[in-house]
Amino acid sequence: MRSSRLYLSATLSNGALVPLDEAAAHYLKTVLRLKKGHRLTVFHGDGREWPATVAALGRDGVLLQLGDSLLPLRESPLKTHLALGISRSEKMDFALQKAVELGVTMITPLQTDHCVVRLDDDKRISRHQHWLRVAISACEQSGRNVVPRIEKPRPFYEWLEQSEGTRLVLDPRGAKSLDQLAPPTEGITFVSGPEGGFSEEERATAIQKGCLPIRLGPRILRTETAVLAILSAAQILWGDWRV
């Protein structure tokens, strides 16, 4: 059976006895259903992980006894940044979750012309916190010990002005495909639209600002499918996937 994994925000060190906060204790007891003496793996997001044992579990809280840290190699050598148009809640969550599982390094949610989701300042904060929890959960599931950077939502044109490096915008009308490009040397940014795709003005501006339009194939993909497809293809071509 696969060992349970748990992200902890507390500072971790070899041999430490770590008390869990209320949320982590609730998750361990009611979701993972672990008991005293059960073993699990914990991580803090810096690449290391620790074997841990439930040392105490009761009304007063939960204590974990840590062993010595390990540094498994689970991060892809390919640095990928996903700039993604914001879609409806369940689709956005799915896209972020799978992007993390596929090894993405950073995600920037973009407010675009065709976004059906409009966020005021309060919603931006709550959505960002929610997306970070989605990313952490995906790390727990997939075995990653580095939590990708999840940026706060940004307007598309603002992000475009300030972004740099190799930027590939997913475009069904693009002339090139991924396998026609040279392997990236300093990471790569994939720019993907929301439901309904990018507007004509956004597409034209992106190309004008140096983004290269690429196509995945002859079929139009949903926003959440496009994320899976492009990151999977990139990991096969240049990352740590073998098929």
Q: What are 142-198's pLDDT values in tens digits?
A: 999 999 999 999 999 999 999 999 999 999 999 899 999 999 988 999 999 998 899
What pLDDT score does 2 carry?
Answer: 65
**Which structure tokens are listed for 132?**
């970070």
Q: How far apart are CA 63 and CA 113, in angstroms?
A: 49
Cβ burial of 234 (10 Å; 0-12, 13-18, 19+) is buried
Give 195: exposed, middle or buried? Use CB within 10 Å, 0-12, 13-18, 19+: middle
User: Distance between alpha carbon 190 and the CA centroid of its chain, in Å?
Assistant: 13
- Can you tell me the distance from the alpha carbon of 136 to that of 187, in angstroms, rounded to the nearest whole number? 22
Mean of all residue pLDDT scores within the chain: 93
Residues 62, 18: Cα–Cα separation, whole Å: 8
Spans of all domains in the chain = 5-66, 80-238
Whether the pLDDT of residue 15 is over 80: the answer is yes
With vertex at residue 79, the alpha carbon angle to CA 229 and CA 238, rounded to the nearest 5 degrees, is 60
pLDDT at 78 over 60: yes
**What is the pTM for the complete model shown?**
0.92
- Please provide the CATH number assigned to the domain covering 5-66: 2.40.240.20
Considering the domain delimited by 80-238, tell me its CATH architecture.
Answer: 3-Layer(aba) Sandwich (3.40)
